[in-house]
């Protein structure tokens, strides 16, 4: 009996989702193809029918964080509308949110893997750079000024968001980590010229 028309696409998506979880938990070097395929409910032997190498899979797992329309539903209360005019502010708020901080398995691989990728080969570093550039481009759409000025601020905001989450997760003191994320969020919003939501306004919205 033949597989449904979308079978191959569905299997590929399962592999990518499993890979993202494994890369976030164990790093690029620590995540094995056997574990990734097992997490997708598949056998190791089928891997090369879908990807040429682990670096090839890593590149797609990285990209899906910004290109997969389903990623915005990972965290309750955090929504991203990629067609919105305030996409930059939405991304920064989501990126530095407590939900993103807590959900390590489903978080952006750029947070979990920068030092690991720096020690890896050119394919992994190129994949990291591709996703960083994608983030910068999305933020740039919401900024004012000439192209050079927009790109400069978008790169600074991206680095602040990623680096802020990396450091926050490295801190043992949770209140300190929360305060650091809030500080990075305030500065990033100022750089973007976006209005920051206060804690009071967030509480009112929940009520």
pLDDT tens for each residue of 40-51 = 999 988 999 999
Predicted pLDDT of residue 75: 67
Cα separation, 170 vs 101, in Å, equals 11
The residues, any chain, with a CB within 8 Å of residue 81's CB and separated by 6 or more, are: 72, 87, 90
Helix axes 122-140, 54-67, angle to 10 degrees: 10
Burial of 70 (0-12, 13-18, 19+ CB in 10 A): exposed
Which of 27, 126, 131, 139 shows the shortest CA–CA distance to 94?
A: 139
Predicted TM-score (pTM) of this structure: 0.75
HSE-up of residue 194 (Cα within 13 Å, Cβ side) = 27
Predicted pLDDT of residue 49: 92
The DSSP symbol for 76 reads: T
**CB neighbours (10 Å) of residue 125?**
14
Average pLDDT of 29-48? 92
Q: Residue 201's pLDDT band (boundaries 50, 70, 90)?
A: very low
Predicted pLDDT of residue 154: 96
Q: Is 81 helix (H, G, I), strand (E, B) or coil?
A: coil
CA dist list (Å): 176 to 114, 164, 188: 22, 12, 18
Domains and CATH numbers, the chain: 7-206 (1.10.357.10)
| H/E run at residue 135 | helix 122-140
Helix and strand numbers (H, E) in the chain are 11, 0
The DSSP symbol for 120 reads: S
Q: Is 160 helix (H, G, I), strand (E, B) or coil?
A: helix
Predicted pLDDT of residue 114: 67
Q: Residue 51 phi/psi, 5° resolution?
A: -140, 145
pLDDT digits (tens, 9 = 90+) for 185-200: 999 999 999 976 644 3
Q: What is the mean pLDDT of the chain?
A: 82
Which of 99, 179, 40, 144 shows the shortest CA–CA distance to 111?
A: 99
Average pLDDT of 9-26? 89
- Residue found under tokens 């978008």: 154
pLDDT digits (tens, 9 = 90+) for 52-101: 988 888 878 876 666 666 654 466 667 677 677 788 888 898 889 998 89
């Amino acid at each position: 009996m033949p597989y449904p028309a979308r079978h191959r696409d569905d299997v590929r998506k399962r592999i990518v989702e499993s890979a993202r979880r494994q890369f976030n938990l164990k790093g690029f070097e620590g995540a094995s193809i056997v574990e990734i395929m097992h997490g997708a409910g598949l056998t190791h032997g089928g891997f090369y029918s879908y990807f040429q190498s682990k670096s090839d899979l890593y590149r797609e797992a990285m990209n899906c964080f910004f290109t997969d329309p389903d990623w915005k539903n990972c965290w309750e209360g955090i929504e991203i509308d990629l067609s919105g005019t305030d996409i930059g502010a939405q991304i920064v708020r989501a990126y530095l949110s407590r939900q993103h901080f807590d959900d390590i398995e489903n978080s952006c691989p750029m947070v979990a893997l920068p030092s690991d990728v720096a020690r890896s080969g050119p394919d992994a570093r190129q994949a990291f750079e591709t996703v960083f550039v994608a983030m910068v481009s999305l933020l740039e759409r919401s900024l004012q000024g000439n192209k050079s000025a927009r790109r400069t601020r978008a790169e600074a905001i991206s680095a602040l968001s990623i680096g802020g989450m990396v450091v926050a997760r490295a801190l043992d003191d949770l209140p300190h980590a929360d305060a650091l994320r809030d500080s990075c969020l305030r500065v990033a919003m100022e750089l973007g010229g976006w209005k920051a939501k206060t804690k009071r306004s967030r509480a009112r919205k929940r009520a």
